[in-house]
Structure 1
Amino acid sequence: MNSYKKDGSLEALRGVAAFFVIFWHIGLAFFPEFVSVPSRPDVTWSAANQIWFVVLNGASSVQFFFVLSGFVLTRRFFLTDDMSIIIRGAIKRWPRLIGPVLLGVLGSWFLFWTGAYAYVETGKLTGAGWLSTFGNAFHSGVRSHITLWHALAQGIFSVFFREETYFISDLWSMRSELIGSYVGFGLALFLGATRGKIVPGIFILTITFIMTSYLSWLMIAFPAGVALAWALPRKPQPLSILSLIPLLTVGLYLLGYSQGARGAFTPISMLVDGRVPYTFVTTVGACLLIFVVEACPAMRIALSGRWALFLGSISFPIYIVHVPILASLGAHFYLWYADGRSSAGAGFLAGAVTVVGAVIVAYPLAIFDRRWTKFVNRVTARVLADPGQPALSARQSFDEGGAATGTV
């Protein structure tokens, strides 16, 4: 099996984006009016209208995850033309995701079983419909199927194939992640078969973008990431400071945009509102950010190191556990401090407790995730073990009727 060394700079971005998702959900839970796009024309101030909203824009952070998946899953394939990368990824993609997701779902079931959740009472106090419905999981207020059997079924299967996520509501993204990964793998195969020719590649990308947009506007992020992995040279021309700052600024600005936002985002809203979904804007921002990091040695160095790998290692676990922590530990601290009335101080305390608690719980899950990934890799290697068979290239796979997919 080919060794794979993770890109520390991209791992750092993944970790930072995971924290942005936490901040977004803390805002939705404890400061709903602060983070929401105003629904009334006479209400103009909102964090969503501020130029720094990228740090709270959880929706764009998820879109960034999708673009990054498309890029990371296929970049090494384009650099090496090694079909084994694609095949391994195809076999292990779903099993690799199951381990940590299943543990997270079982943990949430345990919190339901013990009555540890306090999201209903806290949501009513803060006026947060998102919190009182457990992240929009229980719109009717009726909680059914909260059993160990349903938790097992959801963690292994339903999250990925039915988008059934009432144990951890933000796992809705797992179905898109799984489908989008295979879209990316297939697209990489077709692009690899173009032998680097631009016109056929653009034609294939155009068809893929059209098809994925019919599936979901969120899904365009995956072919966008693959397109970047395909188009980016092996050794990109280093960006000058004159190019770096504008590209980085524009990328972060676009990632801060929400549908219908005004204020600092009025120029974008005037151009795209009612014409294209916000995901087009945030996908472009994500591509710009990844390109800047990949093409700027100084940024790669600044965003590398053990701390970057640590951030990356807890990004998926913290994404899984933070909503259960927020709806239990964070919500209880809010109720304790607020003492029956809405309170900004209680919100900040609950938010801080949520962040700290999520990091603490995510750490052992990250250790499990690392061991689980190694286990899945070993099993995949045994499945594919054939010492006498040389690695296939993308061109060989098409000529000989092979198939493929990629890996993280």
Structure 2
Amino acid sequence: MANALSSETQRIYANRPAQKIAADPKLRLHILDSIRGWAAIDVLIFHVCHEVFANKLPEFGRYWISLCDGGFAVAIFFVLSGEALSHAYFVRNDVEPVRKLAIKRYVRLTIPIFASCLIVFLLMKANLVYSHEAAVVVDRPDWLGRFLPFEPSVGHLLSYSLIGVYFQHTTETSYNPVLWSMSVELFGSVLVFLTLFVTRNRTQRWVIFALLTPFMVLFAPFFVCFIFGMVFGELRVAGTFKRLAARPAANVLSVVALIGVAAGLTIVPFVGLAHFAVAQRLSIGAAVFLFAIYSSNWLQSLFDNRLSHVLGELSFPIYLVHVPIIVSLESFLILRLFPDGIVTRAPAYFIMLVSLAASLLAARAFVHVERFAIRASNAFFTFIDRL
């Protein structure tokens, strides 16, 4: 189980060469990967099932589906990124890993993004996108019907994939509408890097956390997730989560906290508290959700298995490839199985299962793009470092 690094481990790191530390697998927190994998599955199910069929199948429009809220899963991604990007710094108290991650970040994100958009571009050129017609059948002109209302071109593909996705994303101009999160991911990463660059001790960082958190909760709620992630990184390396997880009472309270998050995602939106904006609720809920897991050996054990580890490797590919599946294969099946425009349950469930399976298979193939992006970002860092 990946958990807080022990004081003994930290003493070992302190006496080892930096190049060996950088490659040490213990610097990678596998619990974060496992949780990220299940969050990606959450997004996949939410989009393939709820977003496509909620207006036709009542069971996918009910309040319980909020537990599979794609926005909540994305908020979890952001908190996990905040910790993952800062963890090596907290372990080593060295800015070098931060500098390396900062130089690599754009290349690391952009190559998979471009590949995802290229897939959609090729589908559009081959006339294999059926989302507009399918949107009429499933009564989702407000979601599926808004995708890809433009003529694809190489210039548009390049400008969107390399720049627009971070600065000018809109559903109507995107080759992959879920990429709205990439601008938050990139600039949230910059927030993490700047915080670590300008501080030299824990006290300075906690002052920044205390000053930024209230402001960001109100005005930039998804960015505050990266602050939460850095806070969790501090607590993990200090051994706080390890001490909490060893206490039976903390394990019980963690389960209670998860029940509270579930209630906040399902009941709260229906009891007149809509003035508390969705992004704030999702961001705070994600932080409480992860704090509860980190503070409980019971809950962490749920993610310590082979399936969770595999999903962790597939998490970013799942996120990037499922929309191409929705606009092509799933939309095509909707048109073929509901030619009269009447949606029935058995074929709809068949379409969902096929689309989920196809997304997972496509993600498995996309892992090669992910690995290439990692190698390319490392090569880019080496090139920049030698200048």
Under a length normalisation based on structure 2, what TM-score does the superposition of the two structures give?
0.83
Within the candidate set 51, 76, 79, 1:28 is matched to 51
Aligned-partner Cα distance in 2 for 1:128–1:81: 50
Within the candidate set 153, 171, 180, 1:147 is matched to 153
Find the counterpart in structure 2 of residue 111 from structure 1: 123
**1:55-204 to 2 correspondence within 5 Å?**
56-133=68-145, 136-137=146-147, 143-164=149-170, 165-190=173-198, 192-193=199-200, 195-197=201-203, 201-204=205-208
Return the letter of the residue paired with 1:289: F
Find the counterpart in structure 2 of residue 319 from structure 1: 319
Aligned-partner Cα distance in 1 for 2:141–2:134: 10
Instruction: Please state whether the residue corresponding to 1:237 is helix, strand or coil.
Output: helix
1:78 CA displacement:
1.4
1:144 CA displacement:
2.7
Within the candidate set 31, 53, 59, 2:66 is matched to 53
Instruction: Please state whether the residue corresponding to 1:356 is helix, strand or coil.
Output: helix
1:334 CA displacement:
1.9
Q: Is the 8 A contact 2:107 2:377 kept in 1?
A: yes
Within the candidate set 265, 270, 289, 2:268 is matched to 265
Within the candidate set 11, 23, 31, 1:3 is matched to 23
Distance 1:381 1:237, change over 3 A: farther
Aligned-partner Cα distance in 1 for 2:383–2:262: 41
**Deviation digits for residues 116-157 of structure 1 (CA, Å, limit 9, x no counterpart):** 111122111111124442xx446xxxx334112211222222
1:100 CA displacement:
0.9
1:327 CA displacement:
1.6
**1:36-47 to 2 correspondence within 5 Å?**
none
**Deviation digits for residues 7-39 of structure 1 (CA, Å, limit 9, x no counterpart):** 22221111111111111112111223668xxxx
Find the counterpart in structure 2 of residue 401 from structure 1: none
Return the letter of the residue paired with 1:104: S
Distance 1:316 1:302, change over 3 A: same
Instruction: Please state whether the residue corresponding to 1:304 is helix, strand or coil.
Output: coil
Structure 1 alignment gaps of length 5 or more: 36-44, 387-408
Q: Does 1:219 align with 2:239?
A: no
Return the letter of the residue paired with 2:46: W
Q: Is the 8 A contact 2:89 2:97 kept in 1?
A: yes
Aligned-partner Cα distance in 1 for 2:128–2:300: 42
Q: Is the 8 A contact 1:119 1:131 kept in 2?
A: no
State the number of aligned residues: 358
Q: Is the 8 A contact 1:14 1:312 kept in 2?
A: yes
Return the letter of the residue paired with 2:23: S
1:256 CA displacement:
6.6
Aligned-partner Cα distance in 1 for 2:39–2:112: 19
Return the letter of the residue paired with 1:68: L
Return the letter of the residue paired with 1:118: Y
Aligned-partner Cα distance in 1 for 2:297–2:217: 34
Find the counterpart in structure 2 of residue 368 from structure 1: 369
Q: Does 1:247 align with 2:260?
A: no
Find the counterpart in structure 1 of residue 12 from structure 2: none
Aligned-partner Cα distance in 2 for 1:256–1:315: 26
1:306 CA displacement:
4.3
Instruction: Please state whether the residue corresponding to 2:113 is helix, strand or coil.
Output: helix
Find the counterpart in structure 1 of residue 344 from structure 2: 343
Find the counterpart in structure 2 of residue 310 from structure 1: 310
**Deviation digits for residues 309-357 of structure 1 (CA, Å, limit 9, x no counterpart):** 3211111111111011012101111222223212222321221111111
Aligned-partner Cα distance in 2 for 1:309–1:385: 35
Q: Is the 8 A contact 1:317 1:366 kept in 2?
A: yes
Aligned-partner Cα distance in 2 for 1:46–1:325: 20
Aligned-partner Cα distance in 1 for 2:307–2:69: 23
Structure 2 alignment gaps of length 5 or more: 1-18
Distance 1:106 1:53, change over 3 A: same
**Deviation digits for residues 67-112 of structure 1 (CA, Å, limit 9, x no counterpart):** 1111111122112111111101110111100111101100001111
Find the counterpart in structure 2 of residue 208 from structure 1: 212
Which structure dedicates a bigger proportion of its chain to helix?
Answer: 2
Aligned-partner Cα distance in 2 for 1:77–1:48: 44
Find the counterpart in structure 1 of residue 328 from structure 2: 328
Aligned-partner Cα distance in 2 for 1:251–1:189: 34
Instruction: Please state whether the residue corresponding to 1:227 is helix, strand or coil.
Output: helix
